[in-house]
Structure 1
Amino acid sequence: MAPTKITHIGGPTTLIEVGGWRILTDPTFDPPGKRYFFGWGTTSRKLVGPSIAAADLGPIDAVLVSHHHHGDNLDPSAQALLPTWGTTVTTKKAAAKLGGNCVGLAAWETTLLEAPGKESITVTATPCRHGPVGSEPITGPVIGFSLAWAGQEHGELWVTGDTVLYSALREVPSRLKIGTILLHLGSVRFRYLSGWFRYTMDAREGAELIELVDPAHVVPVHYEGWSHFQQGRSAAEAVLGQSPLADRVTWLDPGESKVVE
């Protein structure tokens, strides 16, 4: 296939364009100002709206939703549009809840995206743990996504999803050849409820994961735009800038794109 274009829409939301496919990740299109309830007393306020309005996106062939139950990964505006956006690949629990054209996967399960006139894309669900040990009953199921298609020069495109760095995540480079990472950061914390426990990677963990994977390209996402993100771009960029693979990291402003081979 042709080179891949990645556009950062905001927060975790990106548009991936390759070989005629247009794929959204963790779509969030609500305007700023709303407060979202994540369960067990945790909340977050959206601070910045999307750089591209949903109405201006054009056709969408598939959507990757790492989890449906947090508004910074799937908000009401996006959920209402899912039936118009082709296939949604998500967790089994989310697929049962959302219905429609949803395909539910558990970690390491796969599905195939197919369409007339386009080369197929294999989607592999990758493991996530959205918090410290034992947090799964509270934070719920989450997955990442690795996308494979014919002709990838450096390897698959991996969307990590919301996760901390833990043993199952470290298995990914031993099971898949990754060429590009969409790296979810943000160091999410709710200090008034859970102290210093983190629910997504900070840049230190992100740097460790990058070295484990040894990808050709890294695009950080999910670090600004909501009040529960505790490590923004400037702090994260300083840490990743010290990585021996810092030259492979590209920071995209909302609305900005990068083409990767």
Structure 2
Amino acid sequence: MTSKHAERTPVSVFGGPTALIEYGGLRFLTDPAFDAPGEYPRGNGHVLTKTAPAAVDPVELAPLDVVLLSHDEHPDNLDHSGRALLADVPLVLTTRGGADRLGGTARGLAPWDAVELPRPDGGTVTVTAAPAQHGPEGCEPVTGEVIGFVLTAPDLPTVYVSGDNASLDVVRRVADRFAPVDTAVLFAGAARTALFDGALLTLDSAQSAEAATILAARRVVPVHFDSWGHFTEGRTQLVDAFTAAGLLDRLELAGA
């Protein structure tokens, strides 16, 4: 094993889609959602329900260097407290439309756009926007634009953050460019709503295990599989799916 992979990238998971990734001396936070449990009306009688609080107070996470925001249009990815947090973050990387809506320090990226960020040690981290498909084929006019992220540096292992993605074809496209991936932060949970007759809006557990194989991921850290009522699979299903695939040793669950 090369020296690039000798040290595991610290990833702390706080519930829902929110995780802290410490990489190259920088602190990256994924989709910030820290509100207390409650309901979020979505129009046409649809409601998203948060069922559990985050495992951390956002003030405890300062200082942050970058927020990796997969999209701004759904409250389970960016809620009221998450929006408030953005004002204190030097850089928010998100979709092009999201950057227009958010303003401030938000910078919009299209899939495969890349940003180089200076590291405290004088090197750089490259953040590449990855495609994501938040539902079945053709979902974008309804679910909106979503991106994932890939973190790379010459001396560090590759980290992939899927964002809300339901397509293994998208995962294959990421793998074509970046596999093997050391750490895959996968938005799992088999999210379903009334949209598209209940079709998957994120990967289910079996797909998450398959994604690990496609990416040749040494480690999978699942997020976005708890704390919301529209997730239809959780910890038990993830463990079962990775066990069935012979990949349980790659699965890293918070609190396990």
Q: How does 1:27-42 map to 2 (within 5 A)?
A: 27-33=32-38, 35-38=39-42, 41-42=45-46
Query: Partner amino acid for 1:246?
Result: L
Identity %: 39
SS of 1:93 mapped into structure 2: helix
SS of 1:231 mapped into structure 2: coil
Query: Partner amino acid for 2:206?
Result: R
TM-score by length of 1: 0.90
2:176 counterpart of 1:168: no
Q: May I ask how many residue pairs the two structures share in their alignment?
A: 250
**Larger mean Cα displacement after TM superposition, 89-98 or 227-236:** 227-236
Higher relative contact order (CA 8 A, sep 6+): 1
Contact 2:161 2:185 in 1 (8 A): yes
Q: Could you list the per-position Cα deviations for residues 182-201 of structure 1 after superposition, in whole angstroms to 9, with x for gaps in the alignment? A: 0110111125x543311111
- Structure 1 counterpart of 2:98, from 94, 103, 106: 94
Contact 2:37 2:53 in 1 (8 A): yes
4+ aligned runs moved over 4 Å, structure 1: 38-41, 115-118
Structure 2: 5+ residue stretches without partners: none
Give the aligned partner of residue 259 of structure 1.
none
TM-score by length of 2: 0.91
Contact 1:146 1:159 in 2 (8 A): yes
SS of 1:4 mapped into structure 2: coil
Contact 1:37 1:70 in 2 (8 A): no
- Structure 2 counterpart of 1:8, from 9, 13, 19: 13
Alpha-carbon shift at residue 233 of structure 1 (Å): 1.2
Q: Could you list the per-position Cα deviations for residues 80-139 of structure 1 after superposition, in whole angstroms to 9, with x for gaps in the alignment? A: 121211100000000011011111111111112225545321111111110012211000
Query: Partner amino acid for 1:21?
Result: L
RMSD across aligned C-alpha pairs, in angstroms?
Answer: 1.8
Structure 1: 5+ residue stretches without partners: 257-261
Contact 2:24 2:119 in 1 (8 A): no
2:162 counterpart of 1:187: no
Query: Partner amino acid for 2:214?
Result: L
- The CA distance in 2 between the partners of 1:12 and 1:49, in whole Å, is 12
